[in-house]
Amino acid sequence: MNENSNNCIRNTTLTAIALASVILMSLASIGALVISNQNAFASQSTLEKIDVRARGVTVTLPPYGTITAYHLFLIYTDKHGSEFICQGFPFDPATGQIPPDSILFTDPPGLLTLGHCIDYLPGNRDYIPDAPSITVASGTLAHKAYNCFVEKTDWFNTAGVPYHLITGPNSNSYAFTMLDHCNVPTLKPSVAVITPGWGISIDLIDPED
């Protein structure tokens, strides 16, 4: 084999190696692009939304027998998937405590209805991720609505709203008031038929006015 043949073989080998390198680099680039797109997809924003959820409460009311009424609360899911709850509750200003459920049916005097918007975490009495639910707002509307809930909750808590479990106003009235004042549809899960206090919207005044 002469020198020209050796050079030809050498050049062909170098060309093959170079071509293989280009192919490997291209495949690596494609792989990096796929991974990048997968990461971008994984980090995409969750759809923001407002849900109205319901927690069933079984009570015995003579002479009607046992019935299931529903306590309603609001859940905001932000673009990162974190959840926040706006919920109403009874409050006894004489003790500074939330009274036990066992006495609420006697309609004790002096109780107030208050509300708060906090992180939705295990340990909350309404932490029921699979509770009956209906979405009433989504996207930017949901974000604006939650900010409105936070503001209107402060107004609600300065209004001196009494608490009456059976007739309202009560925690359901708080939820309804938030939706009503923040221009969000006042819908509830279809299973929540008996919802005392729902439909009562409290007049709210900016305490700074």
- For residue 173, the surrounding DSSP H or E stretch is helix 171-181
Integer Cα distance of 69 and 57 in angstroms: 5
| Maximum Cα–Cα distance across the chain | 113
The reported pTM is 0.78
Weakest-pLDDT range from 3-17, 105-119, 164-178: 3-17
Burial class (CB in 10 A: 0-12, 13-18, 19+), 72: buried
**Alpha-carbon distance values, 9 to 4, 18, 20 (Å):** 9, 14, 16
pLDDT tens track for 60-108: 777 778 889 999 999 999 999 999 999 999 999 999 999 988 889 899 9
Integer Cα distance of 94 and 110 in angstroms: 8
User: Domain map of the chain by residue range?
Assistant: 1-44, 49-181
pLDDT tens track for 25-49: 444 444 444 444 444 433 456 799 9
CB 138 within 8 A of CB 47: yes
DSSP string, 17-72: HHHHHHHHHHHHHHHHHHHHHHHHHHTSPPPPEEEEEEEEEEEEETTTEEEEEEEE
Partners of 92 in the beta sheet? Answer: 97
17 pLDDT exceeds 80? no
37 compared with 117, residue with greater pLDDT: 117
pLDDT for the residue 39: 45
